[in-house]
Amino acid sequence: MANESAQLWGGRFTEKTDPLMAVFNRSFPLGKIMYREDLKGTAAYVTALYESGILTAIELDEINRGLRLVLAEWESGTFLEKFEDEDIHTANERRLTEIIGSLGGKVHTGRSRNDQVATDMRLYTLDHLEKMRQLLKFLIQTIIHRARDEIHVLMPGYTHLQRAQPIRWAHLLSSYATQLTDDLQRLEMATDITNRCPLGAGALAGNPFQIDRRALADQLGFAQVIGNSLMATGDRGFITDTLYLGFSISSHLSRMAEDLILYSSAEFAFLKLSEAYSTGSSLMPQKVNPDSLELLRGKCGRIFGNMAGFMMTVKGLPSNYNKDLTEDKRVLFDTLSTVESSLQIATGVVSTLSINKENMKNALSSDMLATDLADYLVLKGVPFRECHHIIGRVVKAADALGYGGIDVLSLEELQNIDPRFVEDVHDVFDFESSVERRSAIGGTAKNSILDQLNLIENKILYM
């Protein structure tokens, strides 16, 4: 049974709390991870109380001494948790009061758990967004480094999982880096939305003690102050933004993982994962399984569930604070930690895998140059739609004659289909020339890819 006198809200109640309700209402087991943020917010707030004349200098010093001792207990693992610690705020204030006496009760003057938890959550999220930024940038840089080193390697490009056109392996890598750079921009936006101070908003109506909220924001490292007290305590848009960011990163890692899983299979054999990121079978000793990539793919589903579930929680709430919002902690903490570990695993996989250049090259086939053959006629003035039909007939003729590809057709056989094919037509059937012809911005020509990589590198330098 919870100790009713220890509850911050218990003064008006005469009936005892149902033990099941006490457990149901308790967020401490999850929220205690924010002990640093909670103590940091309290230290800033008591400074604001001192500057507004609510606390004396002696009281401020004593409270700060107590806060340092509470922090030391958390850091050393000696903080004694109690069942009546409903949340991290209750726990820290309870322990502070045990250390310095009734003076500890002054730290909550004009402050609500509503603006307190919003502050803690924003500080915690900002810290982890910064960690995520560094991990994301490192992964992008790892991909760029690999793309530069292996830019000469050609491979099939696929649409609908069917061989389509030849590309460079580096072009595929560049596509991953480009997607993740978009995520870095989403992270910037999420950081901007999160980096706003709610402290000093009270429960919903504001603070009556002339608290300097701008000074509070500066002390806590926030870039801005939230200008409306209702929104400050009742909004969790910064969390939904962060959850979407986590899903976006995870979905891109999942799609990359799917590619690498396919390409590491015996049917493709384009690449091989390091044993450091593989596992074996409990039954079949020959198996080397890409479990790291499968886990990246699998965790995306849970991260999406976190996002979708919390969005359903908040979409129908009335304005201002409601207890439903305590559902934010589990999904936020899980998404942040999962994405951070996923980025580290993805970086390890990309940096240690080995590629089989010969298998990639051998998977190229002349039918993948059908579009190049159409382009050949375009340059001779033939409308592309007509070219498309002509090349369709070329492919059909090669199949009918049992040839291994359209490049085997003789000039005479090609001219029987269309007389505009001339002696230089077989120059088309060169994979290196094919990728180099695609030199427009974003293409798979060598210089185009290097431009892509340079652009990404310069972009993330300032993010």
DSSP letter for each residue of 105-133: GGGGTT--HHHHHHHHHHHHHHHHHHHHH
Same domain, 172 and 276: yes
pLDDT, averaged across the chain: 94
- Residue 21's pLDDT is 67
Same domain, 65 and 103: yes
Number of domains composing the chain: 3
Please say if 160 is a catalytic residue. Answer: yes
Domain for residue 173, yes or no?
A: yes
CA 395 vs CA 137, 363, 391, 403, 424: distances in Å: 45, 18, 6, 10, 19
Assess whether pLDDT exceeds 70 at residue 287: yes
What number of other Cβ atoms are within 10 A of residue 193's Cβ?
Answer: 18
Same domain, 342 and 420: no
Which residue of the set 5, 76, 102, 160 is catalytic? 160
Structure token digits, residue 216: 């509070």
Residue 170 pLDDT grade (very low, low, confident, very high; cuts 50, 70, 90) = very high
Residue 289 DSSP label: B
Same domain, 258 and 160: yes
Candidates 22, 18, 29; CA nearest to 7 is 22
**What does pTM read for this prediction?**
0.92
Structure token digits, residue 153: 């390697």
Same domain, 228 and 163: yes
Contact present, 217 and 170 (Cβ < 8 Å)? no
Domain for residue 241, yes or no?
A: yes
Assess whether pLDDT exceeds 70 at residue 26: no
Domain for residue 32, yes or no?
A: yes
Cα gap 387→384, rounded to integer Å? 5
Same domain, 230 and 358: yes
Domain for residue 452, yes or no?
A: no
Same domain, 269 and 145: yes
Same domain, 259 and 276: yes
Which residue of the set 281, 319, 354, 433 is catalytic? 281
Domain for residue 207, yes or no?
A: no
Please say if 388 is a catalytic residue. Answer: no
Q: Which residue range(s) make up the domain with 29?
A: 4-109
Tell me what the mean pLDDT of segment 147-176 comes to.
97
CA 417 vs CA 31, 366, 379, 414: distances in Å: 74, 18, 18, 5
Q: Could you report the per-residue pLDDT of 325-383, keeping only the tens digit for each?
A: 999 999 999 999 999 999 999 999 999 999 999 999 999 999 999 999 999 999 999 99
- Residue 288's pLDDT is 81
Domain for residue 462, yes or no?
A: no
Assess whether pLDDT exceeds 90 at residue 13: no
Domain for residue 447, yes or no?
A: no
